[in-house]
Amino acid sequence: MMKNLRCLLLLVMTVMLVPAEAQVIDENIENNEEVKEDSAWSDSVNTDTVTNLPWPKSVQEKINKLLENKMFQTSQVGMMVWDLTADSCIFEKNEFQMMRPASCLKLLTAITAIDRLGGSYQFKTQLRYTGKIENHTLTGDVYLVGGMDPRFNSDDLSAFISNLKEMGVDSIHGSIYADKSMKDTNLYGEGWCWDDDNPTLSPLLISGKDQFMDRFISRLRESGVIFSPFSTGTKRCPDDAFTVCTRYHSLDQILVRMLKESDNLYAESLYYQVAASTGNHPASAKSARAVERKLIEKIGLDPSRYRLADGSGLSLYNYITPELLVRLLRYAYQNDNIYMHLHPALPIMGVDGTLEHRMHNAFTRGNVHAKTGTETGVVSLAGYCTAANSHLLCFAILNQGVMHAVNARAFQDRVCISLCSPQ
């Protein structure tokens, strides 16, 4: 009896110690993961035996040898490599296969946004009011107008309070409203898992949290501003309201964190800027998808072939192809205004972002600039690198049905080494 009880207790403790696997893994976890390969790579083929072949035959042979690994008996891979210098495809496998991209979808969001909005675009949040200011009293209503800026923080809030005080206001006789009309009321994306740590898609956030009104009111009180009478709510700001302060953040500031750290809130915020640019009010994911489809058509592909759901890649409903990612990267490269904003924001292999602790190989470190993607069973990598012959390449690698993410990353790293090392 005691023996059975001890066994049962041990079983319960074991179950409790096993972490529940969320659908989307925080990609920053990759940075702390010790990269060790399991048995699937213990018999890895030796690509060093491929010699005396001209470019790009040598690369093709090396990658084909990597594809002989036994992990592909139980998982799938779709990939494409494009020589941007020669403007030709040098490798393809299952490039038309519909696959889940995970956070590599952020490349579509980023390229669409730069193409649509321009590199000088700015996110903005405003403090406005109606009525009049006399004898240090604002008689009217105050509006906090959200523009879905994920970088709005305590310093920006302080600027709101400071500007109001500089206008001589020490009393408000009216109401304080949150204007969240910039986007629809959906706080989560289509196809997001309910048990993941998902961002809140509100157009009025502070430090990424849905606490804007509480924080603003608290800071007003701390500054000595008196409310009489006092009420709060949600209401659209009139067009003729006066502006107290506008806080801005640049597109580049958003892109860097969105891509290097794979920040989902930043990606969704950019996604809804694209939606708002259509003039549809409120902005919706449907409007953003319409802009994406136009871009896909612009690069010569059929947008009806793909399933697009959100801007971050969190959704289970996103399905695209390696070909689409490569064609997007090619389009970005051919457009200087897009490339000059996109390329510096990508994680750099062995240097920073989600690639900081990946591949310190001499030929890939500092060379590969690429976006990672990780979900349960999905590991993706897409970006740019320079070959030993100085040709600039772009590539997309989508691994699906992967039991051990470390194996997929090991494969992707070896592909990058094959692309970058002397032939």
**Amino acid 195: pLDDT:** 83
- Residue 157 CA to residue 219 CA, distance in Å, equals 8
- In Å, how far are 164, 203, 237 from 146, measured between CA atoms? 17, 5, 10
**Amino acid 231: pLDDT:** 86
- Residue 135 CA to residue 246 CA, distance in Å, equals 24
CATH number of the domain at 282, please. 3.40.710.10
| CA-based nearest residue to 400, from 182, 162, 102 | 102
Q: Is residue 197 part of a domain?
A: yes
Query: Which of 250, 283, 299 is the last residue before a domain boundary?
Result: 250
In whole angstroms, what separates CA 57 from the centre of its chain?
A: 34
**Amino acid 197: pLDDT:** 86
Q: Does 216 share its domain with 296? A: no
**Amino acid 423: pLDDT:** 75
Q: Does 77 share its domain with 130? A: no
Contact call for residues 411 and 77 (beta carbons, < 8 A): yes
- Residue 123 CA to residue 146 CA, distance in Å, equals 10
Domain that holds residue 62: 29-119+255-420
Q: Tens of pLDDT along 224-269? A: 999 877 789 999 999 999 999 999 999 999 999 999 999 999 999 9
Q: Does 150 share its domain with 133? A: yes
Q: Is residue 23 part of a domain?
A: no
Cis ω for the linkage preceding 56 (within 30 of 0): yes
**Amino acid 43: pLDDT:** 45
- Residue 140 CA to residue 205 CA, distance in Å, equals 24
- Residue 122 CA to residue 134 CA, distance in Å, equals 33
- The secondary structure element, H or E, covering residue 214 is helix 212-222
Burial of residue 2 (number of CB atoms within 10 Å: 0-12, 13-18, 19+): exposed
Q: Domain tally for the chain? A: 2
Residues of the chain predicted below pLDDT 50:
1-26, 28-39, 42-43, 45
**Amino acid 308: pLDDT:** 98
- Residue 345 CA to residue 126 CA, distance in Å, equals 27
Q: Is residue 367 part of a domain?
A: yes
Q: Does 394 share its domain with 278? A: yes
Secondary structure of residue 129 in the 3-state scheme: strand
**Amino acid 10: pLDDT:** 42
CATH number of the domain at 192, please. 3.50.80.20
Count of other CB atoms within 10 angstroms of residue 203? 23
Q: What is the Cα Rg of the chain in Å? A: 25
Q: Does 170 share its domain with 293? A: no
